Amino acid sequence: MVHINANHQMSFFMLPLSFFGENALPLNVCIPYKFVDPARSKRPPPPSDSSLPVLGTCDAVVPVHLSPVQTWVETLERRDSKRLGLVDLHPMSLQSLPAHVTDMTVWRCRGERSAACNILQHDRFGGGSVMVWGGISLGGRTALPCARGVSHGPRGPTSFDYMFPMKLRVQGLKIALSSKLAQDYLHVVDTLNIPTPDPQYLMDLIRYRHWGESVLIVDLPENILQATESLKTVNVIPGIGLNVHSMLKHEVLVLTLEAVKFLENKLLWHDERFTPLYPFKHPYTDLP
């Protein structure tokens, strides 16, 4: 019989994904089968001897014990999913430990929450009979906001936002990207050029390629903005605004080659930078 120490019970949940199987994922990052399109088939990984050109490479140095992760590059100029080439993803920009995803989601929802209701607070009631500070500068009055007096008018809105550590934010973004890649819900395209800004063309393309019910496109070109203006299940977001909450709300994530390079530079910069002079809970102003 094997006994597990209480101090090591949480270590099982931090195991790499390879312990769950070569192509398997933990249940907390997998999409339930009832929500997956039955006609959707997972794309095979790129072979090592592929004849397609490599359209994107890693600018940063890859460690000797690791190798770049390759995925397909597609195009939006036609409806079929013809593969144009391959792109190399830096292995250090991907994370295989399913942790901090829930904390990131709660932090994002708390930041968007605010209460504008007018609720009586303790300091809104009338003051007592004792004057604070010996009655200095009060004029004989005790009903003051600073002395538990009355404060007229509504207070608020009440904010529930708090600062999440930058280190955990970066790690959560890596985990979300790696889970999308492992489930084949991460698609890389050369550009976002479409032949027409008609929304129906984009919906037909998504339906033909079985990209699911919701798609998040990371870039803001003019033609995509016109095509997605009236669509409720296709959203666009700039690369600097990509977050874990938005990726979890959408089934498929579409990145351009420029967006891939932008995200890699940002994530790797956080891994290699020096320790800041102020705590991680404070916002940063020294981003590249």
pLDDT at 202: 93
Residue 251: count other Cβ atoms within 10 Å of its Cβ: 21
How far CA 174 is from CA of 97, 100, 104, in Å, comes to: 9, 11, 12
Token pair recorded at residue 230: 């009236």
Token pair of 254 as six digits: 């579409």
Phi, psi values for residue 205, rounded to 5° = -65, -45
pLDDT of the residue at 21: 42
Q: What letter does residue 84 receive in the DSSP assignment?
A: -
- Whole-number pLDDT of residue 279: 61
Amino acid at 90: H
Side chain identity, residue 206: I
Q: How many residues can be counted in the chain?
A: 288
What is d(CA 17, CA 150) in angstroms, rounded to the nearest whole number? 58
Taking the C-alpha atoms of 274, 276, 280 and 284 in order, what is their torsion angle to the nearest 10 degrees? -100
Domain count, the chain: 1
Residue 127 domain flag: no
Interatomic CA distance for residues 69 and 170, integer angstroms: 19
Identify whether 42 is part of a domain. no
Q: H or E element: which one contains 115?
A: strand 114-115
Low-confidence ranges of the chain (pLDDT < 70): 1-39, 95-99, 114-157, 274-288
CATH number at residue 238: 3.40.1370.10
CA distance 262 to 255: 10
Provide the residue range defining the domain that includes 247.
Answer: 14-31+47-104+163-272
In a domain, residue 139? The reply is no
Tokens read off for 255: 């990145």
**Does 118 fall in a domain?**
no
Q: How far is CA 214 from CA 167, 219, 238, 257, in A?
A: 29, 16, 17, 21
Q: Is residue 36 exposed (0-12), middle (13-18) or buried (19+ Cβ within 10 Å)?
A: middle
Distance CA 278, CA 283 (A): 9
Q: What are phi and psi of 88, to 5 degrees?
A: -90, 125
pLDDT of residue 74: 93
- Predicted local distance difference test score (pLDDT) of residue 207: 92
Q: What is the pLDDT of residue 233?
A: 93
Q: In sequence order, what DSSP letters do the residues of 36-65 get, joined into one string?
A: S-TT--PPPPPPTT--S-EEE--SSPPPTT
Would you state the pLDDT for residue 111?
A: 78
pLDDT score at 131: 61
Whether 61 is covered by a domain: the verdict is: yes
Q: What's the pLDDT score for residue 107? A: 81
